[in-house]
Chains A and B, each alone.
Chain A
């Protein structure tokens, strides 16, 4: 009896301490890349894990399929329903019951019609809950989490497309603070998705390669009939703001980053990528200046202050040395005398030059006398 009470108390405490979620699901894999022949049936499994620990009841997750196409040029999917294509070739159970903290493997299959044209087909398998029925003034919220299926139907597939652009982000010709972000756009006019592979390297003013990074480290695809933009970071990545740009740094933060990854001068970013079965290739360069003005201004100020300080210390040291030698005053007075004499001479020479100019007729010059020889 006592034991039962303890177990019951344990369940109550667990349910109180565990956070309650209306929807909490993990699916794996997040993305599947599959290829098959027309007429073939491909099978697979998707693992579901209910993250809502501590809840006693099972949840019913409904299975649905939707085709997708690219949204913009960032690699985000845009779901367009299931009228035709891959979404109609997918088969699975209608719904799956999953207990709290339980993993369930859901089998699925893709029945590729024998009439399917070779090329790329793209859809998602969604697992979601039914939103509750809302009453007055209420918003009912449901969730779905999807697994992307990237299918290639084998056969003769046309390939096309090419590099659209390669610049720094926002076409900057002058960059001050790392990271330097370069971006390129690749179009795909072929029948299946392509994944560009290659490098972006950075050459400094003296044409030395200072950095080389993967041009597509996330292995992102370009879907047929679209173009995709790839951003490549040269230098440490920084947190992005809402506009997708690295968060702006303060003056001294910029100085710190600039000094840590010091770059200054005329730089060239070089792109070298290949893609597709036929190994299409593109090479492009983009030139720009890196002027870390915040760090430079601090350095210049530092040099200026150091020079000033050094000069002042040197002057004081000299004065001290002379005073120790007891000649400071003497030298000072003799220096003044010399300066006075020099002044006088300058005045007299000015006068004499003026007097020469005033003479209209040239004076007859006396022939130079030979120096007397002393015997």
Chain B
């Protein structure tokens, strides 16, 4: 009996409750908040090493968007420090905020105007709070400061924001592990971004460049042709000689040795058996037609190499007494210097007939 009573009462109660719910929901439909996760979230940091100041480029797509008056909140985990950068504590001026209605994974879009407080309807308040400024809140100032559903948000914090190197940055935690940055956007979207802090994020690269010296001679056979007591002859590369001064060949020297180099000359004057054409001598001397002379001179171009005395002036010299004689030198490391070499030969009317030739050797070496 008792059981029947309770059973009937229970059934009636269920029926009343069910019909009440049906009636209520018909007149007052439920609006259930759809909590959604942010998507394509990432934080690109400029440095990952412990205790290093780093820029953050935080990107994510908010499925629901951020309505007028709502906020985006970034919560950095314990040990990130936004208060003790040498450039000062983080504030709104160290942040850039961009909205891209077409997500593309790139930090671009419409730049939003951030203010410290009192945002107008088109601005956002950007406020750092909590211990060591670990929470950044971007609050919409009104109807013109919103994020559309499905838009991509990019928040830059540090020297990557407008202001550059004068901006403050977050200092990374002191422990090398993975950290989670909390993101909340608008009324319902949220998520986390993981970043891994390393004990060392840089690789040392070392290399050694050995010292070297390069020496080039453009032509090893030059010639005067037939010498004359009535006109000076100048050596040419085609060995036929000429009556006016001309470059016979070039020598090129370059080195990365810190002390530079010296180019020296060794050899003999024009010789035919036991007969010689006299070397012009140790001082720079001009051509004297009808007098036996054999000499050289040089001009330099490129690098820091210079022609040494007595070969540098407009006259000629051949200081065989000082051989191997210094022709050119550079006092430090230098790119290639090209020396334009000129040779002169004069004979007198008494010069013995014969086939005269000379062998010269140029020596290039570093200085000590």
Contact = CB atoms under 8 A, between A and B. Distances in A.
Do A and B make up one complex? yes
A136 B361 contact: no
Contacts of A122: 368
Given A136-B357, A218-B332, A79 B264 contact: yes
Contacts of A21: 216-218
Contacts of B261: 30
Given A75-B259, A131-B361, A239-B304, A223 B368 contact: yes
B42 interface: no
User: Interface range on chain A: under 10, 10 to 19, 20 to 34, or 35 or more?
Assistant: 35 or more
B33 to A, nearest CB: 69
Nearest to A220: B259
A19 B218 CA distance: 9
Interface string A138-170: 111111111110100000000000000000000
A79 B364 CA distance: 11
A6 interface: no
B228 to A, nearest CB: 11
B219 A141 contact: yes
A135 B256 CA distance: 38
B357 A134 contact: yes
A129 B359 CA distance: 12
Interface in A222-271: 223, 231, 239-242, 244
Contacts of B239: 137-138
B57 to A, nearest CB: 41
A26 interface: yes
A22 B248 CA distance: 13
Given A143-B364, A193-B368, A240 B235 contact: no
Interface residues of B, number: 62
Given A30-B213, A74-B329, A219-B259, A144 B361 contact: yes
A116 interface: no
B218 A27 contact: no
Contacts of B251: 143
Contacts of B34: none
B195 to A, nearest CB: 44
Contacts of A20: 218
Contacts of A71: 262, 326
A203 interface: no
Contact of B258 (A19, A219, A244): A219
Contact of B262 (A29, A76, A150): A76
Given A21-B218, A138-B357, A144 B362 contact: yes
B222 A22 contact: no
A143 B217 contact: yes
B324 interface: yes
B210 interface: yes
A51 B254 CA distance: 12
A148 B363 CA distance: 12
Interface in B186-219: 210-219
Q: Among A132, A146, A241, find the residue whose CB has the most chain B CB atoms closer than 10 A.
A: A146
B262 A142 contact: no
A31 interface: yes
Nearest to A75: B367
A23 interface: yes
Nearest to B222: A139
Contact of A75 (B255, B304, B313, B368): B368
B368 A221 contact: yes
Given A30-B213, A31-B211, A143 B361 contact: yes
B365 A138 contact: no
Interface in A1-35: 19-31
Given A28-B210, A132-B221, A146 B367 contact: no
Given A79-B324, A137-B226, A139-B223, A131 B359 contact: yes
B220 interface: yes
A29 B211 contact: yes
Contacts of A231: 331
B128 interface: no
A78 interface: yes
Contact of B361 (A29, A135, A142, A220): A142
Nearest to B250: A21
Interface string B229-255: 000000100010100000011010001
B259 A218 contact: yes
Contacts of B313: 242
A292 interface: no
A289 interface: no
19 contacts: A22-B218, A27-B212, A30-B211, A134-B357, A136-B356, A137-B224, A138-B223, A139-B222, A139-B343, A142-B362, A143-B362, A143-B363, A143-B364, A147-B365, A218-B331, A219-B258, A220-B259, A240-B331, A242-B312
Interface of A: 19-31, 47, 51, 70-71, 74-79, 122, 124, 126, 128-129, 131-132, 134-148, 150, 193, 217-221, 223, 231, 239-242, 244
